[in-house]
C-alpha cells in the first residue's frame, strides 16, 4: 500500500514586497515590475505578509496537539522560508525544524519574469500569442516552466513524503501556482478542471489548503481557508493584492 502523510497543509507564503510592486505596476499601466531584489527568490515578505504568517502560526498553536504539524517544509524562496520560520515560532512547534525543498519553489517564469501582462503583450508579442494558443497549463516561456513542469517535480515531492514522512502531519509552505498543481495531482483533475478553479479566485496569501489521509488517499478538507487571518485582523490579500472572500 502507498504510504501517505497523515495530513498535508499547503500554505501559500504571506504577502511579499513583489506582490505589492506587481499591484502598483498593474495600477499604473506599467510594462515592468520594479522590485529591489535582484532575484525573485530573494524577494522578502512585506510587513503585512509577516503579520499574516504570525496569524496562521497562532491559529496552529490554538489547535489540539493531535492536529498540530509534526513537520514543516518550505520552498527555498525567501518569502516562503520567512513565512515558515514565523509560523514555527508563533505556533511554538517544539522539536520541529524547517526543511527547505527546492521542489516547492515558485513556477519559474523565465523571459516573462517581472513583466506585467501589458509588458508581455508589448515586449514579447510572440509569447503572448503562444500562451493564448496553448493555454497557461501547457505554455512554457523561454527559460521558464509550464504548469506541467511544476507538476512533474511535485509528483516526486509527494513520493518523498510517502517514504520519509508517512503518517506525519505536514505543512508545506509554497506558492499559488504550486498549491493549484498539488490539487491537480491529489484530486486527479483534468486541465479544464484546474483552470476553472484558478479562474474562480486567486489563492490568498497565507491561505490554508488542507488534506487528510482517508481510505488510502489524501482527501481535500479546506481550500483557500483564510479564517485565521480574519480572526487576527490581518488583511486578506491575493495576487495581485486584491482583498477576496474566504472559500
CA 84 to mean position of chain CA atoms: 12
Interval 117-139: pLDDT, tens: 999 999 999 999 999 999 999 99
Interval 170-227: pLDDT, tens: 999 999 999 999 999 999 999 999 999 999 989 999 999 999 999 999 999 999 999 9
pLDDT at 240 over 80: no
Interval 17-27: pLDDT, tens: 988 888 889 88
* pLDDT of amino acid 243: 35
pTM of the model: 0.93
Domains of the chain: 7-108+146-232 (3.40.50.1240)
| Cell, residue 202 | 486567486
* pLDDT of amino acid 30: 87
pLDDT at 245 over 90: no
* pLDDT of amino acid 242: 34
Backbone angles phi, psi at 188, to 5 degrees: 55, 55
Mean pLDDT of 233-246: 60
**Contact in structure between 45 and 72 (CB atoms under 8 Å):** no
Report d(CA 219, CA 212) in Å as an integer. 5
* pLDDT of amino acid 36: 86
Interval 51-88: pLDDT, tens: 999 999 999 999 999 999 999 999 999 999 999 999 99
Q: Which residue has the higher pLDDT, 244 or 97?
A: 97
Q: Which residue has the higher pLDDT, 198 or 240?
A: 198
Q: Cα–Cα distances in Å, from 245 out to 49, 65, 205, 242? A: 17, 29, 12, 10
* pLDDT of amino acid 2: 67
Amino acid at each position: 500500500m502507498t504510504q501517505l502523510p497523515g495530513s498535508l497543509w499547503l500554505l501559500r507564503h504571506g504577502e511579499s514586497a513583489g506582490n505589492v510592486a506587481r499591484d502598483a505596476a498593474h495600477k499604473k499601466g506599467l510594462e515592468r515590475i520594479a522590485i529591489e531584489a535582484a532575484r525573485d527568490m530573494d524577494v522578502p515578505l512585506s510587513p503585512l505578509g509577516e503579520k499574516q504568517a504570525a496569524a496562521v502560526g497562532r491559529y496552529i498553536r490554538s489547535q489540539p496537539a493531535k492536529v498540530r504539524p509534526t513537520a514543516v517544509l518550505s520552498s527555498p524562496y525567501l518569502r516562503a522560508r520567512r513565512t515558515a520560520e514565523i509560523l514555527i515560532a508563533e505556533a511554538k512547534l517544539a522539536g520541529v525544524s524547517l526543511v527547505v525543498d527546492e521542489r516547492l519553489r515558485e513556477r519559474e517564469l523565465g523571459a516573462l519574469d517581472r513583466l506585467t501582462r501589458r509588458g508581455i503583450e508589448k515586449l514579447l508579442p510572440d509569447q503572448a500569442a503562444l500562451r493564448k494558443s496553448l493555454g497557461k497549463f501547457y505554455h512554457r516561456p523561454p527559460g521558464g516552466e509550464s504548469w506541467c513542469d511544476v507538476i512533474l517535480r511535485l509528483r516526486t515531492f509527494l513520493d518523498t513524503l510517502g517514504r520519509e514522512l508517512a503518517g506525519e502531519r505536514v505543512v508545506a509552505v509554497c506558492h499559488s501556482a504550486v498549491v493549484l498543481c498539488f490539487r491537480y495531482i491529489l484530486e486527479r483533475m483534468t486541465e479544464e478542471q484546474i483552470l476553472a478553479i484558478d479562474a474562480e479566485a486567486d489563492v490568498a496569501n497565507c491561505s490554508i489548503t488542507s488534506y487528510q489521509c482517508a481510505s488510502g488517499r489524501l482527501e481535500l478538507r479546506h481550500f483557500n481557508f483564510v479564517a485565521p487571518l480574519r480572526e487576527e485582523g490581518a488583511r486578506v490579500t491575493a495576487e495581485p493584492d486584491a482583498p477576496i472572500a474566504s472559500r
